[in-house]
Amino acid sequence: MPHFGLMDENLLGPVAGPLQRARLHIRSGRRRLNQGKIDAGIATLADAFCSAMKWYLAANRQQLAPHAKGETGDDQELYDLLVLSGVLDGSFDYQAFDLLVNQALEGRTPAELDPAELMLEIEKVMLQLGVMPFDESALPAEDPATY
């Protein structure tokens, strides 16, 4: 994964760790899509998305508590909680994205997928969560050998 060797998530803790991971993966996911490594880019953006939601939950647990119906055991439940609480507007089709991620992991990404459109949709969610914008120059330098 793009964050290996660039950060120590445990050292950063449950709030700063997922935020840094999300940002590193946004940068790397965008690069991979631009390089035509579509399956890898999708998988990397999926990790960024999950990390961003976990960061938001860790940083804002009290604000979300009234909307929670128990544990947020999986990413779909966490996404639904963020929509229910008004953090996300619900315009992102998480189920379709989850299907796309599974297809990418199996090497079956649909030929009609527009990587630029996917990146725009991911960026909209990252803006709503407050993960973006960020200064990429503040991130550790990327190692081009990471894929």
pLDDT per residue as tens digits for the range 83-133: 999 999 999 999 999 999 999 999 999 999 999 999 999 999 999 999 988
pLDDT band at 1 (very low <50, low <70, confident <90, very high): very low
**Is residue 7's pLDDT more than 90?**
no
Percent of the chain with pLDDT over 70: 80
Lowest mean pLDDT among 43-52, 70-79, 123-132: 70-79
pLDDT band at 140 (very low <50, low <70, confident <90, very high): low
- DSSP-derived letter for residue 137 is G
Q: What is the mean pLDDT of the chain?
A: 86
For the chain, what are the domain ranges?
12-131
pLDDT band at 16 (very low <50, low <70, confident <90, very high): confident
**Is residue 75's pLDDT more than 70?**
yes
Percent of the chain with pLDDT over 90: 66
Top pLDDT among 13 and 21 is at 21
